[in-house]
Structure 1
Amino acid sequence: MTPSNIIVIIIALILFLLAFILIKTLLFARKSASTTISFKYGVPRFAQDPQVLAEHLSSVIKIQTISHEDPQEDIKENFETMQALLAKTYPLTHKNLTKELVDGHTMIFTWEGKDASLNPVVFMAHQDVVPADENTLDQWNYPPFSGKIADGFIWGRGTMDIKCQMISVFESVEALLAAKFTPDRTIILTFSHNEEVLGTGATAVVKHLQQKGVRVEAVIDEGGSVYDGIIPGVKGYVATIGISEKGYLSLKFTVQGTGGHSSTPPKETAIGILTRAITRLENNRFPTDVRMVKPMFQGLGSAASPMMQVAFANLWLFGGIITKILSRKGETDATIRTTTAPTLFHSGVKDNVLPSVAEAVVNFRILPGQSIADV
């Protein structure tokens, strides 16, 4: 075979490869083409002063509805204070909807629809928040429970997780009631009080509805956020809709060591052994699977850069590049792998005493399609 023939073959292969990539990209883009669906807007238009909305959210941020692993540490009066404030702020909701309390402070509101043959839909959020680390208080622009409205934002615990959604639901229902609107199907609102500690509120709601024979059509819970500059290859704001959730697993690692005085330490201490184990976990991350985010980029369509569309249309060729790009940021890296996060570490009682026990808790968020067995 002559050199010229070899060159021709190479050029032909390159052209074939480029044509294949182009066809895959066009098919990918066709599936992601934007479609406008016309529908009749069946509810009254929402018109509320943004400042008033901000103040309503700010008012509940100021109330420290913190949930703890030990329920005895919860300040129940704070939940009662916030619920009283909600009743005052949203009188129509509390007057027209049936309110029930389960498991102490978890709220259920039922808004009866016109058609009893339709299964109800559930809108969820939670009242509780996590505590603020005392060691980071000086790093906050504004105190975590100030509810400060400044710089175009509302600051504090719960502004994103997820008193914002609870207030949004209340605002929507209150406005619709003021407009004399009645839904076709029954709407159920549920707001648990201990979601942050994987508590009992949501379970109590399910049990309560089951006992009443209620079967729901759909559940709308907290999900994605509105991102700006987070998703690579996409400029501007992106409102993400979560259609699945990562699994949750926390494991406690315990090392039994030799206690004694710190002046005569052994070659290996309980803390040293455990820290090496944690380091090994962090250094050996779970494998990636970029297929999990392919539908998102397909849905973004023309909003995604042409290069990202080409790459996702041809993961067989550009999968490694996509992985490197998404792995650069914690937010996007978490979408393509099971994550490992050491969150608690306990050991020792005094600076000159060798601890006999060291414990650490590691939290894993499991990628859809994987299981606890994979961890």
Structure 2
Amino acid sequence: MKSALAVEHLQELVRIPTVSREDADATEWTEFTRFALALRKLYPLCHSRLERETVLDYSLVFRWRGRSSAEPSVLLAHYDVVAAPPEGWKRPPFAGELSGKGDERLIWGRGTLDNKGSVVAILEAVESQLEAGLVPAQDIYLCFGHDEETHGTGASAIVDLLERRGVKPVMVLDEGGAIVDDVFDQVEAPMAVVGVAEKGAATLRLTVDQSGGHASTPPRTPAAVRLAHAIIRLNSSPFPAHLTPTGADLLRTLGEHAGGFTGFLLRNVSWTRPVLVPILVRRSDELAAMLRTTQAVTMLEGGHATNALPERVTAIINVRIAVNSSLEATLKHVNRAIGDKRVRITVESPGEPSSVSPTAGLAWGLLRSTIEKSFPGTIVTPYVQNGATDSRHFTRISRGVYRFTPFAMAREVRDTLHARNERMLVSSYLDGIDFYRALIASL
């Protein structure tokens, strides 16, 4: 019965379209208010027994006082979602529909994976532990950001608040890696990949300003062509691939569970890396992204008429900066690759890589043991997360910042993140609630 209610709760909250947009004025903030009100109704003990406050109008902070405040922890998630145009979806993106039976039962909708599933699983776990009368050993903070998908101002303001109050969490757990079993085919056991760091996320703009004119008499290199050349040169100059200490730890862990020559190469990565790195880069885009800074053209703009040469054309480049690099090094590479001073490069949104959290000590040991108990037979391994999360702000106040979503995600499911047909196995969602319940009992 409680499992059925937990599913109904997630359905109800997925149906509230809390879409955050780059332009705050275009955001339907009434939906965010509606979401917060729904939480009050669905989780009465969380709201009556925990201290609750709102930050920047919409981000939520709950404090669950423990027997001590010396070593608090933070469970972090966000409830805003990216837009979901209805075209091409098998089921409406904000209907929260169910399909299938048994182990194949699915819950559909924007936010199931990213990241309302985590928000609701945390609250389900806390509500049930409150009902059972649990008093945690240490303070636990539940922090739910409202604009992670855009600017992350909510999470940043929450950190400001905690910092002013002298709160120094020993562990922060946010979204990130998951339970996967299809990343490395030589390893049969499922893996729990835990992000101990994340790449920097920055936005660059390439701009070409040039005289326009009638399209019937174009110059040899119009502005659009110059920009196209710049994009092609940049795309043809990938950043160098390197194996960080975290990447080496990941490969060694995999090597302990892989046989044959592959296992040998992985276990001895300290001296086989010159051979391994090129192999991994060619193996898949996912692995290649783990080993280098990446660049992707995401937006193009220019022109005002079909028969007029544009006088300004621009391209937006999304870069994810490897933890062994920096924004400065990234700009040097981009300038060198493009090699054309008539293409102006500006930084729209700067972002440096995060610090690397330890894979030893109390926080890591607690997280690892909880994963191993909750998901028997799973290999726990650190990795560097490619995407940016709200957790990057929390590195200001905590060394133990980890990124792990306790849901099983096959590749076909992961491919729906920020895409059509986002969905999650109901069994994975319920397993995630059990994980948070176990973790809370250990904090």
TM-score, with normalisation over the residues of structure 2? 0.68
Q: Give the corresponding residue for 2:223.
A: 270
* Higher RCO (Cα < 8 Å, 6 or more apart): 2
User: 2:75 is paired with a residue of what secondary structure?
Assistant: strand
Q: Give the corresponding residue for 1:290.
A: 243
Deviation for aligned residue 1:177: 0.4
Larger radius of gyration: 1
Q: Give the corresponding residue for 2:211.
A: 258
The answer to whether residue 253 in structure 2 is matched with residue 304 in structure 1 is no
Would the alpha carbon gap of residues 54 and 267 (structure 1) be closer, same or farther in structure 2, given more than 3 Å must change?
farther
More displaced 10-residue stretch of structure 1: 206-215 or 69-78: 206-215
Deviation for aligned residue 1:109: 0.5
User: 1:119 is paired with a residue of what secondary structure?
Assistant: strand
Q: Give the corresponding residue for 1:142.
A: 91
Q: Distance between the aligned counterparts of 2:273 and 2:141, measured in 1?
A: 45
User: 2:195 is paired with a residue of what secondary structure?
Assistant: coil
Q: Is the Cα–Cα contact under 8 Å of residues 231 and 332 in structure 1 kept in the other structure?
A: no
Of Structure 1 and Structure 2, the greater strand share is in: 2
Would the alpha carbon gap of residues 332 and 142 (structure 1) be closer, same or farther in structure 2, given more than 3 Å must change?
farther
Q: Distance between the aligned counterparts of 1:279 and 1:53, measured in 2?
A: 49
Q: Distance between the aligned counterparts of 2:127 and 2:185, measured in 1?
A: 38
The answer to whether residue 106 in structure 2 is matched with residue 153 in structure 1 is yes
The answer to whether residue 82 in structure 2 is matched with residue 163 in structure 1 is no
Q: Which amino acid aligns with 1:331?
A: E
Structure 2 counterparts to residues 101-140 of structure 1, below 5 A: 101-116=54-69, 118-132=70-84, 134=85, 137-140=86-89
Deviation for aligned residue 1:249: 1.4
Deviation for aligned residue 1:325: 3.7
The answer to whether residue 126 in structure 2 is matched with residue 173 in structure 1 is yes
Q: Which amino acid aligns with 2:125?
A: S
User: 2:229 is paired with a residue of what secondary structure?
Assistant: helix
Q: Is the Cα–Cα contact under 8 Å of residues 101 and 107 in structure 1 kept in the other structure?
A: yes
The superposition leaves residues 145-174 of structure 1 with CA deviations (integer Å, 9 ceiling, x where unpaired) of 332322433222222221111111111101
Q: Is the Cα–Cα contact under 8 Å of residues 252 and 268 in structure 2 kept in the other structure?
A: no
Q: Distance between the aligned counterparts of 2:278 and 2:30, measured in 1?
A: 48
Would the alpha carbon gap of residues 267 and 145 (structure 1) be closer, same or farther in structure 2, given more than 3 Å must change?
farther
Q: Give the corresponding residue for 1:192.
A: 145
Deviation for aligned residue 1:236: 4.4
Q: In percent, how many aligned pairs have the same letter?
A: 35
Q: Is the Cα–Cα contact under 8 Å of residues 177 and 192 in structure 2 kept in the other structure?
A: yes
Structure 2 counterparts to residues 1-375 of structure 1, below 5 A: 48-49=2-3, 51-116=4-69, 118-132=70-84, 134=85, 137-151=86-100, 152-291=105-244, 292-300=246-254, 302-315=256-269, 316-317=271-272, 319-375=274-330
Would the alpha carbon gap of residues 56 and 303 (structure 1) be closer, same or farther in structure 2, given more than 3 Å must change?
farther
Q: Distance between the aligned counterparts of 1:101 and 1:82, measured in 2?
A: 13
Q: Which amino acid aligns with 2:302?
A: S
Q: Distance between the aligned counterparts of 1:234 and 1:305, measured in 2?
A: 8
The superposition leaves residues 40-74 of structure 1 with CA deviations (integer Å, 9 ceiling, x where unpaired) of xxxxxxx942x433332232222221111211111
How many residues align? The count is 324
Q: Distance between the aligned counterparts of 2:89 and 2:76, measured in 1?
A: 28
Q: Give the corresponding residue for 1:12.
A: none
Q: Is the Cα–Cα contact under 8 Å of residues 73 and 139 in structure 2 kept in the other structure?
A: yes
Q: Distance between the aligned counterparts of 1:53 and 1:237, measured in 2?
A: 25
The superposition leaves residues 319-344 of structure 1 with CA deviations (integer Å, 9 ceiling, x where unpaired) of 43453245332222211111111112
Q: Is the Cα–Cα contact under 8 Å of residues 297 and 309 in structure 1 kept in the other structure?
A: no
- Provide the alpha-carbon RMSD of the alignment: 2.1
Q: Which amino acid aligns with 1:119?
A: E
Unpaired stretches in structure 1, ≥5 consecutive residues:
1-46
Deviation for aligned residue 1:363: 1.0
Deviation for aligned residue 1:318: 6.0
Q: Distance between the aligned counterparts of 2:165 and 2:272, measured in 1?
A: 54
Deviation for aligned residue 1:360: 1.2
Would the alpha carbon gap of residues 277 and 85 (structure 1) be closer, same or farther in structure 2, given more than 3 Å must change?
same
The superposition leaves residues 167-189 of structure 1 with CA deviations (integer Å, 9 ceiling, x where unpaired) of 11111101100111010111111
